Structure 1
Amino acid sequence: MSVHSQGKRISVPQLRAYKGQQKIAALTAYTAPFARLLDDALDMILIGDSTAMVGYALPNTLSITVDQLAMHAAAVVRSTSHACVIVDMPFGSYQESPQQGFANAARMLAASGADGVKMEGGAALADTTRFLVERGIPVLAHVGLMPQYVNTMGGFKAQGMDEESAERIMQDALAHERAGAFGIVLEGVAEAVGRRITQTLGIPTIGIGASPACDGQILVTEDILGLSGARIPKFASQYVDAGAVIRAAVEQYASDVRDGSFPKLENCFGVKKSGQ
């Protein structure tokens, strides 16, 4: 049965069951208008910590907070009814201990109504994944290029480009699968690494700059709509130049205001229609 004929929100167990059955289509959303537009077409919406960079023009993802992401996630949840909604755990909200991770993840889900959380980190964070899953919080793991590790990785650099790092990423993914993660985001890894992990794991892999072999793909919505500036990431494709459409509409509006053609009387209150 097609997921789009079921008439209710896709659940975490459903996403996990898509492994080997159908590809998972996912995008980010940070606001209600975007979430409403994306909902029907997607299997999963992620409120990523990329909100920091895309929504707030910050240089990286490190400074956004649980409260900020919870507010964005709540708006997405209220505006959707079909896609599974997952929200990022921000930097510093789960790395200290499994207990810290659970407290903040529980707070995040209670405040937002999201279906699960995503956490970045290798095998060292697998105990936190297990701790959360055993206490009822679904976890989407994230390995490979991890933006929250930008300082230790020395920038946003592709990972798994040599045999040693490729094996480390494989072991990271396996550790989270054993810990109970329902899926793994593979970001910025060598294609062969993404393919091998996908073929090895029994849970879905969701690629972003990984491999076509992944069980699903996720991108930042603004990248595919031409709203991220002149530079399009290597791993993304721009499907439309929505920025050009928006600019043209705004320019026309400004022109109409300046030449007096907007607003018209029909846009005003207390004006009788002709003949009344």
Structure 2
Amino acid sequence: MRLVTAARSSVHPESLADELLARLRVHGAIPRHVAIIMDGNGRWARERLLPRPLGHRSGMKAVREVVEGALQAGVEYLSLFAFSQENWQRPATEVGALMSLLEEYIAREVSELREQGVRVRVLGDLSRLTPAAARAVERVVGETAANEKLTLNLFISYGSRAELVRAMRALAEDVAAGVLAPSDIDDAAIAARLYTADCPDPDLLIRTSGELRISNFLLWQIAYTELFMSPVLWPDFGRRELFEAIVAYQSRERRFGRVSA
């Protein structure tokens, strides 16, 4: 795991973002699948003496920025870790605010996501969502299902260990039913029973806020994923920071366990 930090510049952020975009387009391969652990909303609000829910609200702007950046860069899959299973243990007022923000985000963005060619999928234990949030999820998934330019995976009520348990149970049921032999269980059989069965594994995983943890996100899928730890708090993360991470990714040699030539 390598911690990569970007030097701050006096150049206007939009100008630098455009320069980075031009650079990454000629610098090397664009990662097909970028995953992001969106961290730092609470700290962002605390540093500004604001209520914690305002940090989450400010984080919505970063989601829009990153989606637009992924479209510009030519990323095919963008996975955002929005709400973990452990987050249900937070105070009820905060959980309620997060569910309301999910509804608001979908209501505000669904038309533009549809027009931009973004297919939205919401992955996780959705049985725990509030009825209003579940209806919003059903709407955005349905209205964008035919899009093909970018697949946006929103991980909500998600935990990777729970996902793996779910996959193991499915395998056990197939073995018990006689439709699968134990000897048939391999990497592909497990991957086919994960939420991400029809997605390539992430090429690049970004975590914001400077923390150096995976936090139970896509543990199976990131076996050979390149990691980029950004010091930027999520509400301040935008196209520039996304492009910096992609440029850093392009400078690396991916070996997948092999010895380099």
The structure with the largest helix share of the pair is 2
The structure number with the bigger radius of gyration is 1
Same fold (TM over 0.5): no
Of the two structures, which has the highest relative contact order with CA contacts closer than 8 Å and spacing of 6 or more? 2
TM-score where L is the length of structure 2: 0.37
TM-score where L is the length of structure 1: 0.36
